[in-house]
């Protein structure tokens, strides 16, 4: 069934524009509460955890959600700024009915969104999202006073999550003698990430850890690594770790300032687990995964499969195959033996554990991955724009694929989180890849409304 509001990662948009308005989010909270009260067994009142990132609009949307849920008879637990994966963990650990995150992830501060986790810490099943959408079409109401939900704050949420992250790092290892620069993107990990790595023994220098409501993801974090590269060189650090605004993406930088994306980091984790006999099955990537990563896994006889872009599709394929490791080149890495969802801090710990156990460097651990040049261009367009029907776009795609032949790939897709069409071209020649990416992007721009 086609969704009206939910995308690949919840509901997202510009604050003040439909659907990210106080009135809609109030109705969303009520609709979600109604669905939860219907599915709750045993007659107990459902309880939902709400976390958020550091955007200024989070205060407003948090209040609207809380009111809607309470009106539906659902208790609310508030944790304030918390990473998306922390909400997933706490929802499961506290045996709650659901978790809700107010965040637009890597988007700028004037966007925001709402995403849900089920009681087991996983993304909501499709049927539940559809049930919530159906409930949104019904009038907003309110239960009698005796049945209204209550709200309270969880004061020890940060400490609980820090300990959980640390528990995923091998007990026999530590990070003593390692200097790390940690960039929290002025986002939801600003008061968490540095503590995790410091408490495991690292000398930590923090940047991007002073949110003001407006600077989330602004020229920092996983989507803007230049600040981290400069800081690593200035501090003469061993490694740099960059997270995004809600803490589920990871990018790393070595002492020379070289960037390692999700594909390379996923390979390091997979190769280490294969060597230790701990890799269950293979690795799931996406249509955007670099060919070099696929070939490197193949040389180790590690099975590889591609899912559609989006961590929910990666997770679906992992579960269908019984595999424990998957991710995206954007830095979403899912280690199902450690967590139910992608987690930037935990993914970084898996990489650090791999290189510490092997007494090597990130450069050497990832060195066997020979990445193909890949260019990604975003073209602003209506999210539901059907680019496949445009004749000039079809011609540009055909010409590009013919020129690249079997040594390259062309991928055109609508983003599930932003109003853009993503143009990706990959091949052996960087010059050719860049040229064809621009040709296709120009064709899309001319055809897009």
Query: Which residues have a catalytic role annotated?
Result: 105
Phi, psi of 430 (to 5 degrees): -65, -40
The tokens 């990430």 sit on which residue? Answer: 193
Please, which residues have CB within 8 angstroms of residue 202's CB and are 6 or more apart in sequence? 175, 176, 178, 179, 180
Q: What are the strands of the beta sheet with 111-118, ordered from one edge? A: 11-14, 111-118, 98-102, 47-52, 75-81, 151-153
Q: Look at residues 84, 53, 66 and name the one whose alpha carbon lies nearest to residue 22.
A: 66
Q: What whole-number distance in Å separates Cα of residue 185 and Cα of residue 289?
A: 24
**Which residue, 136, 149, 168, 191, is CA-closest to 50?**
149
Burial (CB count <10 Å: 0-12, 13-18, 19+), residue 267? buried
Residues in the chain: 449
- Alpha carbons within 13 angstroms on the beta-carbon side of residue 140 total 14
Tokens 């019904």 found at: 138
Tokens 């990959």 -> residue: 426
Contacts of 110 (CB under 8 A, 6+ apart): 14, 15, 57
Phi, psi of 336, deg, nearest 5:
-65, -15
Closest CA to 293 of 327, 337, 248: 327
Question: What is the C-alpha separation between 67 and 361, in angstroms, rounded?
Answer: 50
Tokens encoding 44: 């107990």
Residues 6+ apart with CB under 8 A from 258: 363
- Kindly provide the residue ranges of all beta strands, DSSP E only, lying in 39-146, ordered along the sequence: 47-52, 75-81, 98-102, 111-118
409-414 and 420-426: which strand pairing?
Answer: antiparallel
Cβ–Cβ < 8 Å for 399, 376: no
Count of beta carbons in the 10 Å neighbourhood of residue 17? 10
What 8-state DSSP symbol labels residue 150?
-
């Amino acid at each position: 069934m086609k969704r009206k509001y939910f995308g690949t990662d919840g509901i997202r948009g510009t604050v003040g524009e439909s659907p990210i308005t106080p009135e809609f989010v109030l109705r969303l909270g009520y609709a979600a509460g109604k669905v939860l009260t219907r599915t709750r067994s045993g007659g107990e009142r459902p309880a939902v955890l709400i976390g958020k990132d550091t955007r200024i609009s989070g205060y407003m949307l948090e209040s609207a959600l809380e009111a809607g849920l309470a009106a539906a008879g659902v208790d609310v637990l508030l944790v304030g700024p918390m990473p998306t994966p922390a909400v997933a963990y706490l929802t499961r650990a506290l045996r709650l009915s659901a978790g809700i995150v107010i965040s637009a992830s890597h988007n700028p501060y004037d966007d925001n969104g709402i995403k849900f986790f089920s009681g087991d810490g996983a993304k909501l099943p499709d049927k539940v999202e559809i049930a919530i959408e159906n409930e949104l079409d019904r009038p907003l109401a309110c239960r009698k006073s005796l049945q209204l939900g209550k709200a309270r704050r969880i004061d020890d949420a940060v400490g609980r999550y820090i300990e959980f992250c640390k528990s995923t790092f091998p007990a026999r290892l530590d990070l003593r003698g390692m200097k790390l620069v940690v960039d929290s993107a002025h986002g939801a990990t600003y008061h968490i990430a540095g503590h995790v790595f410091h408490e495991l023994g690292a000398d930590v220098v923090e940047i991007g850890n002073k949110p003001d409501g407006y600077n989330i993801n602004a020229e920092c974090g996983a989507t803007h690594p230049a600040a981290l590269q400069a800081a690593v060189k200035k501090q003469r650090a061993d490694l740099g770790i960059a997270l995004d605004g809600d803490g589920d993406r990871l990018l790393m930088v070595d002492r020379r300032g070289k960037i390692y994306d999700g594909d390379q980091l996923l390979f390091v984790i997979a190769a280490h687990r294969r060597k230790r006999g701990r890799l269950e099955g293979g690795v799931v990537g996406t249509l955007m995964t670099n060919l070099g990563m696929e070939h490197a896994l193949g040389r180790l006889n590690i099975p590889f499969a591609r899912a559609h872009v989006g961590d929910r599709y990666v997770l679906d394929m992992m579960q269908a195959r019984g595999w424990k490791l998957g991710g995206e080149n954007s830095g979403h890495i899912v280690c199902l033996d450690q967590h139910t969802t992608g987690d930037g801090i935990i993914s970084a710990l898996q990489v650090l554990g791999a290189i510490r156990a092997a007494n090597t460097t990130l450069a050497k651990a990832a060195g066997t991955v020979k990445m193909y040049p890949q260019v990604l261009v975003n073209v602003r367009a209506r999210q539901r724009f059907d680019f496949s029907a445009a004749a000039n776009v079809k011609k540009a795609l055909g010409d590009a694929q013919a020129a690249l032949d079997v040594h390259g790939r062309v991928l055109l897709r609508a983003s599930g989180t932003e109003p853009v069409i993503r143009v990706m071209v990959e091949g052996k020649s960087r010059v050719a890849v860049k040229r064809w990416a621009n040709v296709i992007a120009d064709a899309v721009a001319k055809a897009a409304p």
